């Protein structure tokens, strides 16, 4: 199975899923809480994930899946080929704003990211790419952003981390040109790929960052958990991604000091 064929298939699945999501916005959503009133899941999250899993099982029955909803949220390892899915990243935005949410899919092989897709549904913008392909917005290949320092750019930030100064997030934000809070990891990662933001600090699960990591790799960004250790792909953890210069400045001046 070639990557080119896989890319074509995934794009088709994303377009089909997005079309269903857009239509669903005219219907009444079924919204429930997971861990609390701000941690939401809708029937559309679950139905979108079910659709994508059915397609993967149909075309790639031997592959494994890590996904946010309905019991797919743990794997013992990333051995073999693993699909990592966030059916709607930014569910609160989806429910409250009906924009600023994404579908995200990543394909990893033996723990190494091969393909990543971040689809801004309402803008109809698909950021995708992979190992050796570069990064694209729809059919346009993007240029690698500049390696900008902390004092020269905007940071995407988790609001709670910033407000409580967790891991010096407040101090880091003050050292930058300013912070932006979108409530959607996919939107924040897109901002980095476009060169609009120099970094992103948040508290994320594997499906929040997996697709983005594949694309960040192509542009030479650095990423890890907030303490500089490899991401676990197993639980929610404090996350840092940034231009190489900004990443080093944050680690040396705020985290490891």
Do 127 and 172 lie in one domain? The reply is no
Do 44 and 126 lie in one domain? The reply is yes
pTM over 0.85: yes
Do 163 and 233 lie in one domain? The reply is yes
Mean residue pLDDT of the chain comes to 93
The pLDDT confidence band at residue 37, using thresholds 50, 70 and 90, is low
Q: What are phi and psi of 79, to 5 degrees?
A: -65, 145
How many independent structural domains does the chain possess? 2
**Is residue 217 part of an annotated ligand binding site?**
no
Residue pLDDT, tens place only, 181-226: 999 999 999 999 999 999 999 999 999 999 999 999 999 999 999 9
Do 17 and 124 lie in one domain? The reply is yes
Range list of β-strands (E), 58-131: 64-67, 81-89, 102-109, 112-120, 125-130
Q: Are the CB atoms for 24 and 44 separated by under 8 Å? A: yes
Do 127 and 181 lie in one domain? The reply is no
CA–CA dist 211, 216 (Å, integer): 9
Q: What is the CATH number of the domain that holds 25?
A: 3.30.540.10
**Is residue 68 part of an annotated ligand binding site?**
yes
Do 8 and 101 lie in one domain? The reply is yes
Q: Angle 185-193/206-218 helices, nearest 10 degrees?
A: 10
Residue pLDDT, tens place only, 160-181: 999 999 999 999 999 999 999 9
Do 133 and 183 lie in one domain? The reply is no
Which residues on adjacent β-strands are paired with residue 6?
none
CA–CA dist 89, 182 (Å, integer): 11
**Is residue 208 part of an annotated ligand binding site?**
yes
Which of 141, 175, 191 is the last residue in one of the domains?
141
Q: Terminal CA-to-CA distance of the chain, rounded, Å?
A: 48
**Is residue 88 part of an annotated ligand binding site?**
yes
Which of 141, 162, 178 is the last residue in one of the domains?
141
**Is residue 73 part of an annotated ligand binding site?**
no
Do 126 and 25 lie in one domain? The reply is yes
Domain housing 157: 150-255
Contacts of 156 (CB under 8 A, 6+ apart): 179, 180, 181, 182, 188, 191, 192, 197, 199, 200, 201, 202
Do 114 and 154 lie in one domain? The reply is no
Do 36 and 135 lie in one domain? The reply is yes
Element (H, E) at 52: helix 43-59
């Amino acid at each position: 199975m070639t990557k080119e064929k896989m890319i074509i298939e995934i794009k088709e699945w994303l377009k089909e899923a997005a079309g269903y999501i857009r239509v669903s916005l005219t219907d009444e959503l079924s919204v429930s809480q997971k861990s609390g009133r701000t941690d939401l899941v809708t029937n559309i999250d679950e139905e979108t994930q079910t659709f994508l899993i059915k397609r993967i099982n149909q075309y790639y029955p031997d592959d494994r899946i890590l996904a946010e909803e309905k019991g797919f949220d743990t794997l013992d390892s990333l051995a073999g080929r693993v699909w990592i899915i966030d059916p709607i990243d930014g569910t609160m935005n989806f429910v409250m704003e009906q924009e600023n949410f994404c579908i995200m899919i990543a394909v990893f092989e033996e723990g190494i990211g091969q393909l990543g897709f971040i689809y801004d549904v309402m803008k109809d913008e698909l950021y995708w790419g992979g190992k050796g392909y570069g990064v694209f917005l729809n059919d346009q290949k993007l240029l690698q952003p500049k390696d900008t320092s902390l004092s020269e750019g905007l940071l995407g930030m988790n609001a709670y981390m910033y407000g409580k100064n967790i891991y010096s997030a407040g101090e880091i934000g003050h050292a930058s040109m300013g912070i932006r809070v979108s409530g959607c990891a996919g939107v924040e990662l897109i901002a980095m790929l476009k060169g609009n933001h120099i970094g992103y600090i948040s508290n994320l699960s594997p499906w929040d960052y997996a697709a983005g990591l594949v694309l960040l790799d192509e542009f030479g960004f650095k990423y890890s958990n907030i303490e500089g250790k490899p991401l676990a792909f197993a639980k929610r953890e404090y996350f840092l991604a940034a231009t190489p210069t900004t990443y080093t400045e944050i680690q040396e001046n705020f985290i490891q000091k």
